[in-house]
Structure 1
Amino acid sequence: MQEQLILLEELGRQEEALQFERFSNEDALALGLRLVEYARRNGKAVTVDIARNGHQLFHHAMAGTTPDNAGWVRRKNNVVQRFGHSSYYMGTQYRSKGKTFEEHSGLDFSEYAAHGGAFPLLIKGTGPVGTITVSGLPQREDHELLVTVLREFLAVDHHQ
């Protein structure tokens, strides 16, 4: 559980660091394309989804993904929208207490998935206004792909 607590702290730091000054539809397109290109360059097949205030601004399912990935996107996004933290953060928070999100959150597993890959779209001084999501890889890889591209997009130092 100590490992989960350390990971939880790191995930919290990521949310503090990876925030936008503003986020337009054009930003969604640029970020979405960058996520797709990064996955392609690394031989990964993912579905990428970006939404702001319930408005889907970008969605692309790469060759090699399935309709199930869209379901994972929806369920992971529901976690972010409900809790204001990344889906990986929420799953890790439960694991750090020796519990599982599925058994102890009281939420319907068909509607909520606390698996890595959905990150809150955070605006500095405002808070979460949407979701940036990747689905198609093991949860840690989904999260790491997303955070790597976000850091690059926002030009954030990797040690923050």
Structure 2
Amino acid sequence: MPLDHDAWPTLEELLREEGELELPALSESDAYELGMRAVAAARERDLPISVGVWRTGRQLFHCGLPGSTLDNDGWLRRKGRVVMRFEHSSLYMARLCQDKQVTLADRFGLPAAKYAAAGGAVPLRVRGTGVVGWFGVSGLPQLDDHRFVVEVLRGTSR
């Protein structure tokens, strides 16, 4: 679906946002706290989402809330693979593909069954280390997925 360029952040805005979301660390306990903060916020709003936190290829947190489906889990992993491949949010890659009128398959040879350029997953950058994992949700329209993740991370990054 074409993006509404007036409603979506620009690539520059998304890059700036990614830079603001740097974490001091990402331990197993940090991942649990991040995931639980997302679950609490989603429950308050009755959101039907799946939540995931990954570090260096290892899933540290997962929760499928009421109304979410196995399909949401699949989308979540596909968006996370995009984050780890490009070290940018999945929304950044969705916007990049839209702006250039290409797909990940066209431009990078990545199969749609494994990679999704759709908003909802963001890189987890640790200060002084770089990207060590990703945090994401799936179940809402992609821009809403992205905004939710950023909102939760803003309460964590320092």
* TM-score when normalising by structure 2: 0.90
2:99 aligned residue = 96
**Mapped contact 1:2–1:96 kept (Cα < 8 A):** no
Question: Where do 5+ consecutive residues of structure 1 fail to align?
Answer: 156-160
**Mapped contact 2:23–2:156 kept (Cα < 8 A):** no
Is 1:143–2:146 an aligned residue pair? Answer: yes
Determine the C-alpha separation between the residues in 2 that align with 1:100 and 1:8. 16
- Alpha-carbon deviation of 1:98? 3.2
1:56 to 38, 59, 84: 59
Report the number of matched residues.
155
Computed over aligned residues only, the root mean square deviation of the Cα atoms, in angstroms, reads: 1.9
Alignment CA distance shift 1:105-1:68 (3 Å): same
Determine the C-alpha separation between the residues in 2 that align with 1:6 and 1:110. 26
Superposed counterparts of 1:46-125, under 5 Å: 46-125=49-128
* TM-score when normalising by structure 1: 0.89
- Alpha-carbon deviation of 1:106? 2.0
Is 1:36–2:22 an aligned residue pair? Answer: no
Determine the C-alpha separation between the residues in 2 that align with 1:154 and 1:21. 7
**Counterpart AA for 1:3:** H
**Mapped contact 1:116–1:143 kept (Cα < 8 A):** yes
Question: Where do 5+ consecutive residues of structure 2 fail to align?
Answer: none
**Mapped contact 1:65–1:136 kept (Cα < 8 A):** yes
1:7 to 6, 10, 13: 10
Q: SS of the counterpart of 1:143?
A: helix
